[in-house]
Amino acid sequence: MMAYLVFLGPPGAGKGTYAKRIQEITGIPHISTGDIFREIVKKENDELGKKIKEIMERGELVPDELVNEVVKRRLSEKDCEKGFILDGYPRTVAQAQFLEDFLDSQEKKITAAILFEVPEEVVVQRLTSRRICPKCGRIYNLLSLPPKEDELCDDCKVKLIQRDDDKEETVRHRYKVYLEKTEPVIEYYENKGLLKRVDGTIGIDNVVSKVLEIIRWSGK
């Protein structure tokens, strides 16, 4: 199985979870730009990484052309011969255009851009239920992945905490920002007939089945 996929959806939609499952089933690699950036700034002798680190440390947004360069480099690695599942990219129309040109140059094209639709209230419920162990960093969810004992880490037995990122006000803000920023990218793929909408509230197994269906159907 081979596919060039873009995953779109709000924070808390579960994009990373779905991508990992699809990777396990199909071998198509999950490319998370968040992970790539965390990796690249850790490397000592990477010129591109150094540049990006400086920008991030100044608290500025990494410009499109650098993000594009990082993604291009990653997509040129050998495991991407089977395709890829992009998670966290493209975030702008300029990035989407770059991705298309890059694939064109290799005589490839996007199989589908899959939009996981999850209403704001569901996102708020999911993310505000998230708790983390302050000692070992293990992540729980009071709804879907609760600790054995009430709000205590299974391993450390210390009280779980909520990160600022997962507080209701922040979650609602992130959702709003997501809608504003992603709308043009959604439109871009819709205009090209590549957008597939998947209901992100039907449970992980059902969502994964839908995505597999899309891959099979689009591959023909």
What's phi and psi for 112, nearest 5 deg? -165, 150
120 near 9, Cβ under 8 Å?
no
Shortest distance, position 156 Cβ to Zn ion, whole Å: 3
Q: Under the criterion CB under 5 A, does residue 86 sit at the interface with Zn ion?
A: no
Q: Which helix (H) or strand (E) holds 7?
A: strand 3-8
Under rule CB under 5 A, which residues in 118-147 are in contact with Zn ion? 133, 135-136, 138
**Residue in 163, 181, 192, 216 annotated catalytic:** 163
Catalytic, 174? Answer yes
Binding Zn ion by CB under 5 A: which of 153, 171, 194, 211? Answer: 153
Q: Are 114 and 198 in contact (CB under 8 A)?
A: yes
Q: How far is CA 170 from CA 10, 84, 123, 176, in A?
A: 13, 31, 12, 10
- The DSSP code for 117 is E
The answer to whether 181 is a known catalytic residue is: no
**87 versus 166: smaller Cβ distance to Zn ion:** 166
Q: Is residue 15 flagged as an active site residue?
A: yes
Q: Which is nearer to Zn ion, 154 or 213 (CB)?
A: 154
Q: Which residues pair with 3 in a beta bridge?
A: 83
Per CB under 5 A, residues contacting Zn ion are 133, 135-136, 138, 153, 155-156
Q: List, by residue number, the catalytic residues.
A: 15, 91, 130, 163, 174
